[in-house]
Amino acid sequence: MNESPNNSVLEIWQSQPVEVTKMSAEVLRKRANKLEHRVWWRNAREYAASLGAAVLLAYSFATTHDLLSRVAFGLFFLGLIWIGVQLHRKGSAKSMPTAVDTVSSLRFYRAELERQRELVSSIWSWYLAPLVPGFIVYTIGHAIRVPHPAAWAKLALLDAMVALMFLLIWRLNMRTARCLDRMIHELNGTN
């Protein structure tokens, strides 16, 4: 093989003009801290939202005298706990050691993407389904407590909106699963 064309390409590549980034230790620390704070706040927001919903449901459970409504709030509460446990168990992102070789890092990414795909494609079973019993019992309880056609119509509208929201969440997650699938496919065969 004639090496000169390749050497020229290497020379062109290595001698390309670049503006070298200089970051002081202070700037590096600030950026690293900013990243850590962003992750901390994101987790804190998620936990605060879950805690807020749990407190609200617990309060509703304690103050409602109607038996079916209490059962419904109890089921919602249990559903939320189930979702939280599943999210913590399956959804926690693992951080990759930064200096592993490429083959190992790609293996790690693939495993992470597959885990995320499993999580989003099974959204129905661990995220949506646990809330359904609560909605059903709440609907029945409300329909019995307020036996008026107008109230039933409102209830039907509310249920339809919830069903629509569930459908939307499910479809969005299926789209994400397809996207992840494509990324996994791209990574397959690279080693």
Partner 1 sequence: MSAIETIPARASTPDELYQDAARAYGPALERLARAYEADPDLRRDLVQEIHVALWRSFKTFDGRCSTRTWIYRVAHNVGASHVLRQSRTCFPALVGLEELENLPDTNSDPDRTHILDRLLQLTQRLKPLDRHVILSYLEGLDAAAIGEITGLSTSNVATKVHRIKHLLARWFQQGGKSDE
CA distances for 4 relative to 13, 15, 16, 113, angstroms: 14, 16, 18, 42
SS3 99: coil
Residue among 105 and 122 whose Cβ is closer to partner 1 = 105
Is 183 a binder of partner 1 (CB under 8 A)?
Answer: yes
Residues 177, 116: Cα–Cα separation, whole Å: 8
Residues 118, 162: Cα–Cα separation, whole Å: 24
Q: Whose structure tokens read 């998620």?
A: 46
Closest CA relative to residue 93, chosen from 72, 74, 116: 116
From 14-22, 121-129, 141-149, 161-169, span contacting partner 1 (CB under 8 A): 14-22
Residue in 65, 93, 94, 99 binding partner 1, rule: CB under 8 A: 99
Residue in 37, 154, 178, 182 binding partner 1, rule: CB under 8 A: 182
SS3 15: coil
Residue in 50, 53, 54, 109 binding partner 1, rule: CB under 8 A: 109
Is 35 a binder of partner 1 (CB under 8 A)?
Answer: yes
Is 9 a binder of partner 1 (CB under 8 A)?
Answer: yes
Is 26 a binder of partner 1 (CB under 8 A)?
Answer: no
Is 186 a binder of partner 1 (CB under 8 A)?
Answer: yes
Residue among 42 and 145 whose Cβ is closer to partner 1 = 42
Q: Is 189 left (phi over 0), alpha (psi -120 to 50) or beta?
A: left
- CB 9, min distance to partner 1, A: 5
Is 28 a binder of partner 1 (CB under 8 A)?
Answer: yes
Residues 138, 57: Cα–Cα separation, whole Å: 13
Residue in 93, 94, 98, 149 binding partner 1, rule: CB under 8 A: 98
**What is the DSSP annotation of 160-188?**
HHHHHHHHHHHHHHHHHHHHHHHHHHHHT
Residues near partner 1 (CB under 8 A)? 1-2, 5-6, 8-10, 12-14, 16, 18-23, 25, 28, 31-32, 35, 96-106, 109, 113, 179, 182-183, 186-187, 189-191
